[in-house]
Structure 1
Amino acid sequence: MQEGLASERRAESGRALLVRLTAKGHKYRERLIKERRAAEEKLREVLTLEEIASLLGLLKVVAELKL
């Protein structure tokens, strides 16, 4: 695939496509997980539990807008 993050292979039947992360894709995934955890930790340092709950509620609303 274009970025080299995943590979694809067609099943013998031709009815399915197997998609897997490449080594580069796994490294990218791990980096994203670390960045997400760091961002979450930063939010926990500066926001109260009530503020976090409000933020999550607002993010759900935005996600459901299907912009």
Structure 2
Amino acid sequence: MTYQYIPRGTLTTQLAALNCGVAPATIRDWVRRGLLTRCGGTPKRPVYRLADVEAARYAAKPTREGQRAKTST
């Protein structure tokens, strides 16, 4: 299903990335990791609930073994 206008309360991948201050690839990575789920759209143009995007933004992100921890300066 293709939307001319996305449903109220949802965001496209691009808009979700802008909302969170990350790259669109990061949004797709959150989906792959299970931190964010699609609520509609098409496989190439998914949409996400705003509340789910915000929850994923502040969720603790799993790290890979051996990955350097971020340090605050």
**By the TM > 0.5 criterion, same fold?**
no
Output the TM-score relative to the length of structure 2: 0.24
Name the one with the larger helix percent. 1
Greater RCO (Cα-Cα under 8 Å, separation 6 or more): 2
Larger Rg: 1
Output the TM-score relative to the length of structure 1: 0.25
